[in-house]
Structure 1
Amino acid sequence: MNPAELPHQVHESGANGVFDRIEDAIEAGYIAQLNYVKQFQLKDREKIITAIREAVIENKEKLAQMVFEETKLGRYEDKIAKHELVARKTPGTEDITTAAFSGDEGLTIIEQAPFGLVGAVTPVTNPTETIINNSISLLAAGNAVVLNVHPSSKVSCAFVVNLINQAIKDTGGPENLVSMVKDPTLETLNRIIESPKVKLLVGTGGPGMVKTLLKSGKKAIGAGAGNPPVIVDETADLKQAAKSIIEGASFDNNLLCIAEKELFVIDSVADDLIFHMLNEGAYMLDQQQLSKLMSFALEENVHQEAGGCSLDNKREYHVSKDWVGKDAVSFLRQLGIAHEEDIKLLICEVDFDHPFVQLEQMMPVFPIVRVGNLDEAIEMALLAEHGNRHTAIMHSKNVDHLTKFARAIETTIFVKNASSLAGVGFGGEGHTTMTIAGPTGEGITSAKTFTRQRRCVLAEGGFRIIG
């Protein structure tokens, strides 16, 4: 999608939230938030959020197509589903509650108050989806947001910022509640971080970005990397496990941080599980094909540098950016293999130390490791997850086994007998989010995450019931 194809107002500085200068975006967002909290009530916030939801649903196919064409990542059909998910299942003002305590000594009310203007960083993997999710949550909490989006998605992001602000204006809301700079850089990010008008920082992406926000001296909410392991034990419904794993690991070509990245399966049921995965449409790579795939999908870390979704500079390989988010058929084509167009996931048997186990590869290439027993599976899963405490999945009918793994892994999301997608409300209960704040501890974020507690006390001397 070429920038010239966007609505004309996106190119004009300040039109519907998109600015040439980051200083102007910050100032506009700051003024908008002051107006928002002074002139608009909670019911007005909900009206605004409803309008945003409707605008996104109406434009979900266009948004999906724009993101797909600009980033060249993932699957168009899955991006439609992601946009619909964040529009429908991101909580609004119902998430903002007030607690009250009354007694002989008076009345105390604890309100969830806004921070003000929030600076947010969004990733290339879920660019517009994260903006929609964050905007609904932040606006429900009474904040405004100024964005520093990933440069590789800036056209799509400008379009969705325009769309959101137009929806707000159509309901009579203030201009520029959601703002961004047209050409985001590290320098524009630093300006957001340093601005005294920005009171809270929110980042969704890699560990380097989260580390930068945490050094700012401001409160920061950071959603970092994950490398979610899945365990299948000998009691699992293997057919259902195979179907669920393929659904989660192949969704949007494995771009989601919650997606199944590596499998540890008890050896006694491994063959049967693989049989069911092949029946569900997976393609098994032999060792020669795997070796060839590694030659173009991975890059040797010759300079001992940190990269991708890890700060570890000792990794032997990095994932090639050229193959992140590409579909399984593209890999097969590169391998020179006759293929079926409906293949969504490539599977391979490897050892624990294999790079595809250790790296968050974000490709539809799924490594399978055989283990002797549950304890071995848990030990390996813990090591492969690298302490991110992001997401883990297990398929088992044994409650003790499920509990043992859940307590050991201590991830923000733990999914039992379902696709990883259930962890964010896609085929599962509960609300959704694109910002899973494992590093800073907030977990599944929503409107209340982006508030600060405000205690209002009316003491006994000023409050007396006359009986």
Structure 2
Amino acid sequence: MELLDKDLVSIQEVRNLIAKAKIAQKRLSEMSQEEINKIVKAISDAGYENAEKLAKMAHSETGFGKWEDKIVKNTFASKVVYESIKDVKTVGIINEDKALKVLEVAVPMGVVAGLIPSTNPTSTAIYKAMIAIKSGNSIVFSPHPNAKNCILETVRIISEASVAAGCPDGAIGCMTVPTMQGTDELMKHNDVALILATGGSAMVKAAYSSGTPAIGVGPGNGPAFIEKSANIKLAVKRIMDSKTFDNGTICASEQSIVVEKEIEDKVVEELKNSGAYFVTEEQSKKLEKFILRPNGTMNPQIVGKSAEVIANLVGIEIPKGTRVIIARENRVGHKVPYSKEKLCPILAFYVEDNWNTACERCIEILNNEGAGHTLVLHSENQEVIREFALKKPVSRLLVNTPGALGGIGASTNLLPALTLGCGAVGGSSTSDNIGPLNLINIKRVGYGVRELEELRGTKSQSVESACTVSNEEDLINVLVEKIMQKLNK
């Protein structure tokens, strides 16, 4: 009987993909570290070789960002991520502490469900496939419907390369008929061990509600605080570079600028010199109505669009060549659009009396949305940096670097990743930049080093002697010595 219902087709396809992935994962779990590394290298090479092609496909299909920047993201996902994980032990005994007599053994989780967003579709698929295979897991992707074709092509390219390198067929699979019901089946299937969820809040919430262990990431809403000791020119350059990179589609990109009153004029002047446009009060009110939909979520029409395109959509005039639109703001709240995540070149601008009140403002912004994710600090004052590190509810405090590139580990030495955990405060199961070690369980082997008498504090001399015996010959010698002592008495 032919299935004509799209949801039923999607559900059946998911079941078939999982069945193949389960068989493939069994074979992966029996491979050596060298065999696994060879496959991961093949995925990396294939992603790198097709970086431009896939970038152009993603831009053409989604309309988000800049294809030139998507090449950088694909290159990052394939080459930079690979270099960071290539020497990591993920098979067999991965650690041995001879002094404590403890062994750690890597155990793959099984079949991973990979949820892929439309904002970073091809790069996220490459990255998730690599860390899944590196840890001995298979992966089945649920592509965002608006980026289905470029994700399917990415999966085809890296899957073929992996099979040619010895990977079992079916270890990297992807839904061709993505529906909500099909994705729900993928997340709740008994043979799926873990969900890697990257996307909107609703998707992440669904992943955590599925009953399957999940690693999900919430929204980013990182403020950038420019403290008075900062190199203002360099701080502004970094913020502008970050917010215009792929038109702000990376969730770690800055969403607001917070400055001290003392340096306000200098920062504003530098921002204007760098291509930022401060909207008038009338323009600001018109723009803020366009940022959010009636249900309070981000308007998809602004995502990944340039400043000029957004201005045309809204019907406001901005200077030609404007790179970033900035609106002055003094409010924070769920109904204050500028204080929320905006995956496009729009920034809120807050002015505070001093760094202490600026610190509190940043916390208020993060608690409104984006808690646990990222904050950017531009400062040369080590005391301020330490205070921010101690007090801010984020998993990543980025100092003197672009937020978008620093958060993913491109311009910092954080683990290169395209899935950024937000910790418990952000509703996530981890605060890590997600890598292969997050996708394995660790079996621990512990050798006995103490006897019950020692734990009770009543260890006898004979037990003490026996505990120090290292072989059978030594044991015989100890027993003979004890017998001779008794005979001599």
Per-residue deviation, residues 165-224 of structure 1 (Å, max 9, x unmatched): 111122132112111110111111221122221111221122222222222233211111
Match of 1:85 among 55, 60, 76: 76
Going from structure 1 to structure 2, the CA distance change for 1:33 and 1:464 (only over 3 Å counts) comes to: farther
Going from structure 1 to structure 2, the CA distance change for 1:119 and 1:271 (only over 3 Å counts) comes to: same
Alpha-carbon offset, residue 108 of structure 1: 3.5
Corresponding residue number in structure 1 for 2:363: 382
> What secondary structure, in the 3-state scheme, does the structure 1 residue paired with 2:106 have?
strand
Correspondence 1:340 to 2:320: yes
Match of 2:252 among 251, 258, 272: 258
Per-residue deviation, residues 361-393 of structure 1 (Å, max 9, x unmatched): 212111111111112111111111126210000
User: Following the alignment from structure 1 to structure 2, what is the Cα–Cα distance between the partners of residues 102 and 395?
Assistant: 44
Amino acid at match of 1:101: D
1:58-457 alignment runs, 5 A limit: 58-90=49-81, 91-96=84-89, 98-102=94-98, 107-299=101-293, 301=294, 305=295, 307-308=296-297, 319-334=298-313, 335=315, 337=317, 339-341=319-321, 343-353=322-332, 355-386=336-367, 388-420=371-403, 421-438=405-422, 439-457=428-446
Instruction: Judge conservation of contact 1:233–1:395 (CA < 8 Å) in 2.
Output: yes
> What secondary structure, in the 3-state scheme, does the structure 2 residue paired with 1:56 have?
helix
> What secondary structure, in the 3-state scheme, does the structure 1 residue paired with 2:98 have?
strand
Q: CA RMSD of the aligned region, Å?
A: 2.3
Alpha-carbon offset, residue 295 of structure 1: 4.0
Going from structure 1 to structure 2, the CA distance change for 1:87 and 1:117 (only over 3 Å counts) comes to: same
User: Following the alignment from structure 1 to structure 2, what is the Cα–Cα distance between the partners of residues 298 and 430?
Assistant: 32
> What secondary structure, in the 3-state scheme, does the structure 1 residue paired with 2:77 have?
helix
Amino acid at match of 2:23: I
Which runs of 5 or more residues in structure 1 are unaligned?
A: 1-17, 309-318
User: Following the alignment from structure 1 to structure 2, what is the Cα–Cα distance between the partners of residues 283 and 178?
Assistant: 45
Instruction: Judge conservation of contact 1:123–1:149 (CA < 8 Å) in 2.
Output: yes
> What secondary structure, in the 3-state scheme, does the structure 1 residue paired with 2:193 have?
strand
User: Following the alignment from structure 1 to structure 2, what is the Cα–Cα distance between the partners of residues 465 and 169?
Assistant: 49
Amino acid at match of 2:71: I
Match of 2:24 among 18, 29, 32: 32
Query: Alignment length, in residue pairs?
Result: 430
> What secondary structure, in the 3-state scheme, does the structure 2 residue paired with 1:324 have?
coil
Corresponding residue number in structure 2 for 1:45: 36
Corresponding residue number in structure 2 for 1:11: none
Instruction: Judge conservation of contact 2:339–2:348 (CA < 8 Å) in 1.
Output: no
TM-score if structure 1 supplies the norm length? 0.87
User: Following the alignment from structure 1 to structure 2, what is the Cα–Cα distance between the partners of residues 287 and 187?
Assistant: 44
Amino acid at match of 1:102: K
Quick one: higher RCO (CA 8 Å, sep 6+), 1 or 2? Answer: 1
User: Following the alignment from structure 1 to structure 2, what is the Cα–Cα distance between the partners of residues 238 and 360?
Assistant: 24
> What secondary structure, in the 3-state scheme, does the structure 1 residue paired with 2:149 have?
helix
Instruction: Judge conservation of contact 2:327–2:338 (CA < 8 Å) in 1.
Output: no
> What secondary structure, in the 3-state scheme, does the structure 2 residue paired with 1:256 have?
coil
Instruction: Judge conservation of contact 1:70–1:153 (CA < 8 Å) in 2.
Output: yes
Moved more, 451-460 or 227-236: 451-460
Instruction: Judge conservation of contact 1:158–1:182 (CA < 8 Å) in 2.
Output: yes
User: Following the alignment from structure 1 to structure 2, what is the Cα–Cα distance between the partners of residues 406 and 32?
Assistant: 44
Going from structure 1 to structure 2, the CA distance change for 1:133 and 1:466 (only over 3 Å counts) comes to: farther
User: Following the alignment from structure 2 to structure 1, what is the Cα–Cα distance between the partners of residues 332 and 97?
Assistant: 55
User: Following the alignment from structure 1 to structure 2, what is the Cα–Cα distance between the partners of residues 170 and 206?
Assistant: 35
User: Following the alignment from structure 2 to structure 1, what is the Cα–Cα distance between the partners of residues 65 and 420?
Assistant: 20
Alpha-carbon offset, residue 48 of structure 1: 1.0
Alpha-carbon offset, residue 447 of structure 1: 0.6
Alpha-carbon offset, residue 356 of structure 1: 3.7
Moved more, 374-383 or 326-335: 326-335
Going from structure 1 to structure 2, the CA distance change for 1:142 and 1:466 (only over 3 Å counts) comes to: farther
Moved more, 82-91 or 254-263: 82-91
Moved more, 379-388 or 270-279: 379-388
Amino acid at match of 1:268: E
User: Following the alignment from structure 1 to structure 2, what is the Cα–Cα distance between the partners of residues 443 and 431?
Assistant: 8
Which runs of 5 or more residues in structure 2 are unaligned?
A: 1-9, 423-427, 450-466, 474-489
User: Following the alignment from structure 1 to structure 2, what is the Cα–Cα distance between the partners of residues 78 and 388?
Assistant: 27
Per-residue deviation, residues 124-170 of structure 1 (Å, max 9, x unmatched): 11112111111111111100011112111111110011011111122
User: Following the alignment from structure 1 to structure 2, what is the Cα–Cα distance between the partners of residues 298 and 64?
Assistant: 28
Instruction: Judge conservation of contact 1:92–1:136 (CA < 8 Å) in 2.
Output: no
Corresponding residue number in structure 1 for 2:462: none
Amino acid at match of 2:327: C
Alpha-carbon offset, residue 71 of structure 1: 0.9
Per-residue deviation, residues 390-410 of structure 1 (Å, max 9, x unmatched): 000011111111111221113
Alpha-carbon offset, residue 23 of structure 1: 1.1
User: Following the alignment from structure 1 to structure 2, what is the Cα–Cα distance between the partners of residues 36 and 99?
Assistant: 20
User: Following the alignment from structure 2 to structure 1, what is the Cα–Cα distance between the partners of residues 29 and 357?
Assistant: 54
Alpha-carbon offset, residue 248 of structure 1: 1.2
Per-residue deviation, residues 213-249 of structure 1 (Å, max 9, x unmatched): 2222332111111110111111111101110111112
Alpha-carbon offset, residue 464 of structure 1: 6.2
Alpha-carbon offset, residue 110 of structure 1: 0.7
> What secondary structure, in the 3-state scheme, does the structure 1 residue paired with 2:150 have?
helix
User: Following the alignment from structure 1 to structure 2, what is the Cα–Cα distance between the partners of residues 360 and 190?
Assistant: 26
User: Following the alignment from structure 1 to structure 2, what is the Cα–Cα distance between the partners of residues 212 and 20?
Assistant: 20
Amino acid at match of 1:292: K
Instruction: Judge conservation of contact 2:11–2:182 (CA < 8 Å) in 1.
Output: no
Going from structure 1 to structure 2, the CA distance change for 1:375 and 1:457 (only over 3 Å counts) comes to: closer
User: Following the alignment from structure 2 to structure 1, what is the Cα–Cα distance between the partners of residues 319 and 53?
Assistant: 29
